[in-house]
């Protein structure tokens, strides 16, 4: 479907400040993982962060524990959001976070502990930029990933 | 732990540098001199008499909505200016042909369908007006060359 003019997302949106708050919390945890370096403690904390990304990939950013903290502790103290946002962009970002931290946890569990702070550092850059300047991973990565896929035969109609 | 502090400091400096560079690029109007005119009928783009904004968007891109709003308002406010939003999933060949890497990417076309400028990232009202000015200037320059 080609959209013109005012494109709308599907369904009800979420408060755009929620995913950004969550990204800030996640970035702080990832910074601690970087501090802990290639240790068991770092691996455990990275696994906690990865579990959060798994929740976010399945249920959307509002379904993570960071989303719960935002809804119950932060949002009641803020002015109502002037607009709601589509839930798909933050959910895509959660998936990217899961991929990066999941690789770190997997390598860490198989004994390559140096991968733990490296994965945490990569995920930190994305999460911190999301929280501070509003970087949108779906904007930067989705089309690149889509282009990497080979051209489907017969014009690629869906 | 001491190593960790140094590593974290480096990671934070890299993050700040990327953030600064990324913010600077958001919606910046980049002129594209010498681009050939192109037939846009396959994409269902009706060229405006003054300028056309073709916006490439994706569902996973929140700033695409904000950009569509800004450009829609611009098109409504100025006769001869049109805005058309295309989904990248349905226009992958076009995306490859035009070397578009991220969303939103906005192609600013003159009345002949020639790409005069390009913007990527969320577009502000000021940047949208600047892009419109770029097309107007281009038309004046072309008029001078012809006479």
Using an 8 Å CB-CB cutoff, list chain B residues near A92: 60
Residue B104 to residue B101: CA distance in whole angstroms: 9
Could you tell me if residue B103 is left (phi over 0), alpha (psi between -120 and 50 degrees) or otherwise beta?
beta
Contact map slice: B 40-99 vs A, CB within 8 A: 44, 57-65, 68-69, 72, 75, 83-90, 92-93, 95-96
The chain A residue lying nearest B72, using CA atoms, is A5
Using an 8 Å CB-CB cutoff, list chain B residues near A7: 57, 64-65, 68, 85
**What is the per-residue pLDDT for A82?**
78
| Backbone phi and psi for residue A16, each to the nearest 5 degrees, phi listed first | -60, -20
**What is the per-residue pLDDT for A71?**
94
Residue A128 to residue A29: CA distance in whole angstroms: 11
Our CA-based measurement puts residue A67 at a distance from the nearest CA of chain B, in whole angstroms, of 18
Whether A135 and chain B come into contact, CB under 8 Å, resolves to yes
A5 and B19 within 8 Å at the Cβ level: the answer is no
**What is the per-residue pLDDT for A116?**
97
Cα distances from A106 to residues A110, A118, B147, in angstroms, run 6, 13, 68
**What is the per-residue pLDDT for B80?**
96
Which parts of chain B register pLDDT below 70?
146-147
Our CA-based measurement puts residue A141 at a distance from the nearest CA of chain B, in whole angstroms, of 7
**What is the per-residue pLDDT for A157?**
41
Instruction: Tell me how far the alpha carbon of residue B117 is from its chain's centroid.
Output: 7
Identify each DSSP E strand in B1-145 by its residue range: 30-31, 51-57, 81-87, 105-109, 115-120
Q: Looking at residue B139, which CATH number applies to its domain?
A: 3.40.30.10
Nearest to B133 by CA among B27, B48, B29, B23: B29
- What is this model's ipTM? 0.87
**What is the per-residue pLDDT for A83?**
80
**What is the per-residue pLDDT for B109?**
96
Using an 8 Å CB-CB cutoff, list chain A residues near B93: 156
Could you tell me if residue A5 is left (phi over 0), alpha (psi between -120 and 50 degrees) or otherwise beta?
left
Instruction: Give tens-digit pLDDT for A60-83.
Output: 999 999 999 999 999 999 998 878
Which parts of chain A register pLDDT below 50?
1-10, 153-158
The residue range of the domain holding B133 is 2-146
For chain B, what is the domain count? Answer: 1
């Amino acid at each position: 479907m080609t959209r013109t003019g005012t494109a709308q997302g599907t369904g009800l949106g979420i408060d755009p400040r929620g995913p950004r708050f969550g990204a800030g919390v996640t970035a702080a945890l990832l910074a601690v993982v970087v501090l802990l370096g290639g240790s068991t403690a770092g691996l455990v904390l990275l696994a906690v962060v990865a579990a959060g990304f798994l929740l976010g990939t399945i249920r959307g950013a509002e379904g993570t524990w960071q989303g719960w903290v935002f809804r119950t502790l932060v949002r009641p103290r803020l002015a109502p959001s002037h607009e709601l946002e589509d839930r798909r962009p933050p959910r895509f970002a959660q998936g990217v976070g899961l991929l990066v931290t999941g690789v770190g946890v997997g390598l860490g569990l198989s004994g390559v502990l140096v991968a733990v702070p490296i994965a945490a550092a990569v995920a930190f850059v994305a999460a911190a930029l999301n929280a501070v300047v509003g970087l949108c991973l779906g904007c930067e990565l989705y089309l690149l990933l889509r282009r990497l896929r080979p051209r489907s035969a017969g014009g690629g109609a869906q | 732990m001491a190593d960790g502090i140094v590593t974290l400091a480096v990671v934070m400096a890299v993050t700040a540098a990327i953030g600064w560079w990324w913010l600077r690029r958001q919606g910046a109007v980049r002129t594209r001199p010498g681009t050939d005119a192109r037939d846009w009928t396959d994409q269902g783009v009706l060229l405006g008499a003054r300028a056309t904004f073709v916006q490439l968007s994706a569902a996973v891109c929140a700033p695409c909505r904000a950009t569509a709003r800004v450009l829609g308002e611009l098109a409504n406010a100025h006769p001869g200016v049109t805005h058309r939003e295309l989904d990248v999933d349905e226009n992958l060949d076009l995306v490859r042909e035009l070397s578009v890497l991220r969303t939103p990417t906005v192609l600013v076309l003159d009345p002949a369908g020639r790409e005069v400028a390009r913007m990527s990232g969320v577009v502000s009202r000021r940047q949208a007006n600047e892009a419109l000015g770029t097309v107007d200037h281009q038309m004046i320059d072309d008029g001078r060359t012809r006479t």
